[in-house]
Structures are given as C-alpha cells and as structure tokens.
Amino acid sequence: MKWYLPVASENWLTTITLCLCALMAIKTIFGVDSAIGSGKNFIKLSLNFVRSEFLIIANFIIELNQKGRIMMSTIESPAQTKGYLIRWGAFYDTVVNLLTLGQTSRLRTMTIDQAMLMPGERLLDVGCGTGGVTIPAKKRVGQNGPVSGIDPSPEMIAVARRKAERARLEIDFRIGVIESLPYEDGSFDVVTSSLMMHHLPNDVQQKGLAEIYRVLKPGGRILIADAMRPNRVVMKGFFNLIARHHGLKFGVEDMPGILKSAGFTDAALLEQHFAFIGFVRAIKPAG
C-alpha cells in the first residue's frame, strides 16, 4: 500500500492566507456572536481550533515520515481543464473546516440530505475533491449503491482514495473533468456537485451540465451546493478571496436558469442553506 502526501509548494502561501483571512472574516460572515460570544472568547476558540487542526496535520506528516512512505507527488497527472485546479489536496479539508468553523460534517450531511439519496441508488459526485461528500454519500446508499467520484486534481483524488481505504468503502475515484465524463449514457440515479461550479468558466459549466444530463438516468436528479452571491461588503471581499477565479460573477442563485437551459426540469433554489452555501436541485425529464 502506498501513501501520498501531495503538496504543491507554490500554493503554501495561498493556503496560509486563506486560513488567516478566514479567522478575520468568519465572525462577520457566519454571525457567530450569539453562538460563541465575541472578542476574547472568539479569538480563543479560533486559535484553539486552528491549533488542533494543524496538530493533526503535523502528527500525520511525522507518522508518514517515520514509516518512510512520504511521496511528494502523485503518479498520475492532472486532467486538462479550463476550470480552476486545486493542487493542495493535503490541506483542503483543513481549510474548509476553518471556513465552516468546524461544521464541515454538518454541511456535508445537509448536502446529502438535499440530494435525497436512497439506499441502492447509483451516485456520481462531480468535482469530488477529497471525498467530503462522496464518502458519507456511499454510507447513505449502502453496499448495493455504486458510488463514483471524479476530480481533475490528482492530489485531491489521492487523499480521497486514502480516506475511502481507511473507511473500508468501495468507491470509484477517478481523475477526470466534468466537461468529458468517462461514463455511459444513463448511468446514474443522482449526480452531486459540491463547492465546484464556481470554479468553472461559463462555457465549461454548460458543457459539464450537458454531460451530467447525458449520464443521468431519465428521472434522475442533480444537486448542486455552492456559494450564494454575497450581499454585504465584508462578505463580498471574502468571497472574492476564496473564489477569486470567478469573483462575484457567479452565485448558486443563477443555477436554476442555467439548469433549465440545459434541459432539466423542476430546477429550484431550496429554502435550506448553510451560512453562505445554498442548494439547487433539478430533475432530468423521465420521458
């Protein structure tokens, strides 16, 4: 068994900057005053949280180093895409956990709930990253529900495969792109996309949704979780930072219209949301 610690050194500054900016902005974005207090209490909670997260990473690196299993790059090459490519997969979960104040598991559960997954259904998670949605989704559909995850980043896929192996779950993780899905027509009951659409230029979004439409079974559904367009100054600045490749041009509120143009029906922004993350669900016509 091989272990991977995929690191792109040029992205260390990006990772650190994201973490620091998260600590500065998250109090305003999530409105946590009533939940955890303000001032010293918030700073103490944040520092303790960051310390615990980076201790986990440090211990992980030390463990791998002692076993002589660290590989600084993956065997596979990244898929070619016009979308934004995340090459710091080893730290992605930590960054997302920071941005959600440790509520990543709650966000992933909400995503699966909104997808209305049922035991035995066949699922494709597009832009699966480190398997944050894919792995708990597999637990939801069970042993008889085949699950696949696709992402253009080999670093993200390497982490996802390792996590699935640890959980003893059989998931087909592949390197690939949304605009050219390597699956037969009508292969899946459900397709999910979590925090991925804002990474894509408009033309890639359109090609990707056409591909999702193709691989969905008639009557199948798509669930998209992504950032809502910010409406406050602080949130706009923060959103520009974390989504600088697409800036304020995209909001998940735009997806119902885009999905309808791609042939889907019943496309709607759902009432449920997690902080600034919204959910859109749509159906591929049965006829």
pLDDT value for 268: 95
Four-CA torsion 197, 200, 206, 209, nearest 10 degrees: -40
pTM: 0.73
pLDDT in tens, 164-194: 999 999 999 999 999 999 999 999 999 999 9
* DSSP per-residue codes, 181-219: --S-TT-EEEEEEES-GGGS-HHHHHHHHHHHHHHEEEE
Enter the tokens of residue 88: 């710091």
Residue 22: domain span: 1-287
pLDDT of residue 231: 66
- Name the domain count of the chain: 1
Q: Strand 277-283: give its sheet, edge to edge.
A: 172-175, 147-151, 123-126, 188-194, 216-227, 277-283, 265-274
Write down the pLDDT at residue 214. Answer: 97
Q: What is the CATH number of the domain that holds 80?
A: 3.40.50.150
Give the residue from 21, 65, 64 showing the smallest Cα distance to 46: 21
Which residues of the chain are modeled with pLDDT < 50?
A: 1-17, 24-39, 60-74, 233-238, 241, 243-247
For 91-118, the pLDDT digits (tens) are: 888 888 877 778 888 999 999 999 999 9
